[in-house]
């Protein structure tokens, strides 16, 4: 077996407990589908650099660097860390580790098929490190690796060691609950509004990393007007006499900022919340690193999920002093748009030329820079104050008590509209959540026809709130049915694993399916999935074959959201009539934010700041992604939550109820399908369609809940892929292109891609706010990237005379998930399939008999007619 395709190997030991080793490949670079070669190269690194150093517990991650189009190098990590030892610190047999590496690479080869691999890097995390370790030589590694390869097939005969549970729909037992069984109603808690602080930070890039040169803050009190005189500002160049290096002056600015907050907290004698607009992906990263490295006497508790900073809480002992939060999570819009809606009297957001700001001209522009920052602070203070006032007046809820808009919407629902005695919303256990979540597919986005003229762009007025109000919801406690054989589909209400056949005659299939690349497609063919019962019934009625296998069944109950949606929607209409944009905005975002809170995923990526003791504990007992030493005894560590601890270990988010979110999105897909399935549908995105002809007038209204409104008449439109379209109206051009290259896309690019959809265009792209979580920095990164579309991953293109004119669904056959079902269920399914097949044969046979009978009748009639004609001719001759 050839595994010596490496140009060189290297390793380093950044700090105790971490070894990083890399194999660089020679040209021609191997592709990711060369599983054996890449597995061997990874195992070679472990043998040479990891195993000799292991002391205590250990696990490792694998990172590949892919060489994409135009020689762009893109690194990616292959899932969470793989253990090298068990919990007793005994080495896991190398053959099993080898099998795990091979399995992990095989999984990602389906996603990145054909991509070239430039290098492999492993990061080995340990409780400690053998201080006298020496790397093994290439010759020693070859001997050990050859022995592992020879034994590999022997290992494969046994059940391989797995560090994660397979994701299947199988449900075996229920967990012991340590959390409520259902969501409870809320009672009014606060009697008055709390003050808060708003802040802003301005940065400059040095050596491709953002450093603050100015920061400011303002105390905001409910009921009091805000004014520029209330703002405290700190400017780096004011400390030039004290510090020669800019980085030191930047640190001083942040130090004074934190000290000022502490002073205000002492004066108030109460913890305070400080808001930044976009703390999650910018200011919070910079602040967190500063607090870790320069305020060691305080303890930090971070809420950092899926690479977003939701909260940084600063403690002295057990007492919280203050916390940073992101106003964008409560008011999801730009500061400019928010201020125009909520507080236009405070003026507009300013503008400065960030690109031409540098170290030589910064000091001379001090007044301009500080005025710009002050205006942002005033606007943020005004926006938050107005929003706080509106929510308190309407719902007696203080936005300062909530972190996100979704949690705010849920609190308002529980406080004002939720009747727990009539419809107690069940909180699923691990098995229930894992199963039902497979049916939570979200919205339907597809591009059908790539180009059209004289088209109509319609969208639905508040689609999700509409279905939340009008359709029955799954209520009560779910009941598990291992075998649904013999039950009528029409009698079921819940979430069902089903065998599905979609005939090829359906050109725009209805049921969603996630393929191996985790792409949501709508295919024809044969497959098994978990679906809401109502969409299975709908699929059956339009021609699908549906055989229920197993599932959780609920009670069909009237929606608990009727009053919530009705009240907010009517209030929004009144606000719009009176031209109160602020109130209309609040009602709209509340209505659209509630459903998603129920579908919050318990499995998330958590990042924490911790000491060495907690790092070791998380290293052993979590699905580790990475760990990095930040400063002295402070580590940043990232891991997956709620993954592989079995059904008895489960910490779901508070008040999660995925059955509601899954039902709502399924109903929305049902509601949209009659319009999506039209022959003249060019494009759809969740609540909108682009059609060649108008929708019937009785289904159109600019304001009625659930009706369609005409957004635009399109002179021409290009619909090349989901979230990638351009269209022109009489007044404007509208462009949508998902991803970081949007600013490089134009009408001309769409025209090029329509003519040749395989075109790949090299683009020099600058990422101005690239977050590096391992180092807690925000930087600027310039790289060549590929601009183009991925053709054929959701639907197959159809060409005519060399021109791309249409698309057709992907046809699949995937019954791999049936391997988990029991023998009884399998026999029932096989029996039902045979029955359906026999029914189809019987129908065909009956149809053939009917056609033969009709043919015979026509033949007899024709023969009779010929005889009559002959007789007639004879009679004429005789006459």
How confident is the model over 183-238, as pLDDT tens digits? Answer: 999 888 788 999 999 999 999 999 999 999 999 999 999 999 998 899 999 999 99
pLDDT at 654: 81
C-alpha 690/C-alpha 693 separation (Å) is 9
pLDDT at 586: 86
Residues in a beta bridge with 473: 557
φ and ψ at 353, to 5 degrees? -90, 90
C-alpha 214/C-alpha 203 separation (Å) is 7
For every residue of 41-64, DSSP letters joined together read HHHHHIIIIIGGGEEEEEEEEEEE
Q: CA dist 20 to 91, 126, 398, 566, 694, Å?
A: 19, 12, 48, 58, 61
pLDDT at 158: 47
pTM, entire model: 0.87
pLDDT at 72: 74
C-alpha 879/C-alpha 664 separation (Å) is 83
pLDDT category of residue 726 using cuts at 50, 70 and 90: very high
∠ Cα 642 529 546 (to 5°)? 150
Percent of the chain surpassing pLDDT 70: 90
User: Quick count: other Cβ atoms within 10 Å of Cβ 121?
Assistant: 20
C-alpha 327/C-alpha 280 separation (Å) is 9
Q: Quick one: which H or E segment has residue 409?
A: helix 405-412
User: Quick count: other Cβ atoms within 10 Å of Cβ 718?
Assistant: 22
C-alpha 472/C-alpha 659 separation (Å) is 12
C-alpha 280/C-alpha 311 separation (Å) is 8
Can you say whether the dihedral through the CA atoms of 332, 335, 336, 339 is positive or negative?
positive
Provide the residue count of the chain: 879
- Architecture of the domain whose range is 6-156: 2-Layer Sandwich (3.30)
pLDDT at 844: 53
> 188 near 266, Cβ under 8 Å?
no
Percent of the chain surpassing pLDDT 90: 68
Higher confidence at residue 604 or residue 215?
Answer: 215
Tokens found for residue 190 = 């606060």
Tokens found for residue 378 = 């005033």
Residue 870 has pLDDT above 90, yes or no: no
C-alpha 423/C-alpha 361 separation (Å) is 64
The pLDDT tens digits for 759-775 are 999 898 888 899 999 89
Note if the bond before 28 is cis, omega within 30 degrees: yes
Quote the strand ranges of 722-776, DSSP E. 724-728, 733-737, 761-772
Range scoring the smallest mean pLDDT among 432-436, 651-655, 791-795: 651-655
Domain 196-412 has CATH 3.30.420.10: yes
Structural domain spans, the chain:
6-156, 196-412, 605-640, 828-878
pLDDT at 390: 92
pLDDT at 603: 84
Mean pLDDT of 483-511: 95
C-alpha 815/C-alpha 282 separation (Å) is 45
Can you say whether the dihedral through the CA atoms of 344, 347, 353, 358 is positive or negative?
negative
Q: The tokens 């060409």 sit on which residue?
A: 799
Residue 786: strand, helix, or coil: strand
pLDDT at 163: 39
Residues in a beta bridge with 525: 502, 812
Mean pLDDT of 670-694: 97
Tokens found for residue 32 = 């990711």
Q: What share of the chain is helix, strand, coil (3-state, %, to 5)?
A: 40, 30, 30
Average pLDDT score over the chain: 89
Q: CA dist 492 to 67, 203, 469, 554, 555, Å?
A: 50, 58, 21, 8, 9
The pLDDT tens digits for 11-35 are 999 888 899 999 999 988 999 999 9
The domains spanning 6-156 and 196-412 adopt the same CATH topology = no
The pLDDT tens digits for 136-186 are 988 898 889 888 887 765 555 444 444 333 333 444 444 456 678 899 998
């Amino acid at each position: 077996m050839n595994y010596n395709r490496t140009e060189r190997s290297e390793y380093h030991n950044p700090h105790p407990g971490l070894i990083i080793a890399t194999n660089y490949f020679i040209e021609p670079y191997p592709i990711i589908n060369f599983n054996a070669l890449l597995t061997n190269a990874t195992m070679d690194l472990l043998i040479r650099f990891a195993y000799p150093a292991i002391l205590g517990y250990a696990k490792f991650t694998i990172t590949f660097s892919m060489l994409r189009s135009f020689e762009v190098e893109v690194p990616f990590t292959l899932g969470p860390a793989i253990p090298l030892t068990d919990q007793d610190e005994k080495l896991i047999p190398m053959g099993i580790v080898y099998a795990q590496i091979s399995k992990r690479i095989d999984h990602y080869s389906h996603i990145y098929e054909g991509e070239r691999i430039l290098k492999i890097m492993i990061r080995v995390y340990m409780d400690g490190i053998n201080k006298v370790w020496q790397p093994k030589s290439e010759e020693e590694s070859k001997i050990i690796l050859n022995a592992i390869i020879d034994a590999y097939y022997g290992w494969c005969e046994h059940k391989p060691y797995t560090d994660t549970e397979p994701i299947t729909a199988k449900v075996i037992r229920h967990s012991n609950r340590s959390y409520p069984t259902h969501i409870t109603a809320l009672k009014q808690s606060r009697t008055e509004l709390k003050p808060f602080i708003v802040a802003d930070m301005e940065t400059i890039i040095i050596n491709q990393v953002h450093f603050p040169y100015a920061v400011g803050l303002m105390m905001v009190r409910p009921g009091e007007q805000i004014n520029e005189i209330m703002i405290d500002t700190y400017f780096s160049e004011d400390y030039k006499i004290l510090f020669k290096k800019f980085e030191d002056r930047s640190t001083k600015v942040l130090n004074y900022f934190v000290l000022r907050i502490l002073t205000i907290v002492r004066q108030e004698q109460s913890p305070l919340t400080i808001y930044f607009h976009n703390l999650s992906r910018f200011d919070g990263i910079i602040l967190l690193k500063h607090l870790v490295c320069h305020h060691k006497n305080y303890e930090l508790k971070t809420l950092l999920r899926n690479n977003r900073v939701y909260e940084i809480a600063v403690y002295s002992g057990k007492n919280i002093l203050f916390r940073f939060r992101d106003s964008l999570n409560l008011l999801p819009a730009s500061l400019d748009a928010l201020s125009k809606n909520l507080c236009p009297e405070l003026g507009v957001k300013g503008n400065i030329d960030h690109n031409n700001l540098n170290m030589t001209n910064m000091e001379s522009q001090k007044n301009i820079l500080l005025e710009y920052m002050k205006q942002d602070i005033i606007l943020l203070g005004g926006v938050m104050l107005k929003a706080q006032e509106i929510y308190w007046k309407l719902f007696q809820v203080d936005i300062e008590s909530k972190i996100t808009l979704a949690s705010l919407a849920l609190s308002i629902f529980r406080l004002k509209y939720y009747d727990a005695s009539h419809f107690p919303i069940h909180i699923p256990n691990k098995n229930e959540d894992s199963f039902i979540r497979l049916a939570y597919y979200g919205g339907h986005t597809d591009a059908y026809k790539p180009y059209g003229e004289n088209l109509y762009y319609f969208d639905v007025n508040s689609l999700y709130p509409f279905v939340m109000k009008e359709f029955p919801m799954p209520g009560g406690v779910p009941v598990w049915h291992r075998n649904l054989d013999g039950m009528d589909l029409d009698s079921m209400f819940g979430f069902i694993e089903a065998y599905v056949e979609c005939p090829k005659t359906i050109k725009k299939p209805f049921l969603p399916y996630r393929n191996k690349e985790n792409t949501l497609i709508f295919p024809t063919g044969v497959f098994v999935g978990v679906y809401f019962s109502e969409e299975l019934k709908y699929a059956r009625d339009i021609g699908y074959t549906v055989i229920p296998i197993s599932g959780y069944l609920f009670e069909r109950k009237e929606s608990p959201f009727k009053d919530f949606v009705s009240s907010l929607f009517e209030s929004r209409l009144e606000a719009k009539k009176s031209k109160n944009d602020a109130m209309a905005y609040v009602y709209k975002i509340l209505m659209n934010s509630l459903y998603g809170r129920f579908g919050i995923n318990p499995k998330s990526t958590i990042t924490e700041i911790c000491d060495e003791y907690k790092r070791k504990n998380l290293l052993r007992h979590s699905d580790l992604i990475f760990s990095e030493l930040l400063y002295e005894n402070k580590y940043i560590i990232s891991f997956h939550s709620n993954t592989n601890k079995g059904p008895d270990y489960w910490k779901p988010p508070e008040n999660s109820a995925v059955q509601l979110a899954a039902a709502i999105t399924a109903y929305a897909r049902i509601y949209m399908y009659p319009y999506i399935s039209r022959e003249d549908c060019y494009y759809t995105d969740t609540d909108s369609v682009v059609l060649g002809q108008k929708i019937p007038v009785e289904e159109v209204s600019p304001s009625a809940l659930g009706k369609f409104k005409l957004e635009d008449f399109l002179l021409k439109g290009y619909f090349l892929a989901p979230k990638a379209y351009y269209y022109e109206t009489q007044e404007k051009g509208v462009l949508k292109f998902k991803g970081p290259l949007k600013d490089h896309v134009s009408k001309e690019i769409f025209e090029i891609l329509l003519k040749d959809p395989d075109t790949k265009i090299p683009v020099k792209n600058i990422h101005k706010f690239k977050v590096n979580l391992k180092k807690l920095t925000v930087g600027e990164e310039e790289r060549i990237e590929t601009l183009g579309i991925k053709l054929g991953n959701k639907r197959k293109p159809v060409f005519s005379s060399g021109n791309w004119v249409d698309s057709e669904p992907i046809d699949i056959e995937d019954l791999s998930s049936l391997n988990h079902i029991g023998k009884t269920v399998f026999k029932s399914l096989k029996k039902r399939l045979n029955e359906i097949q026999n029914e189809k044969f019987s129908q065909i046979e009956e149809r053939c008999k009917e056609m033969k009978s009709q043919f015979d009748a026509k033949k007899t009639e024709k023969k009779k007619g010929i005889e009559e004609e002959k007789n007639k001719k004879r009679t004429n001759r005789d006459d």
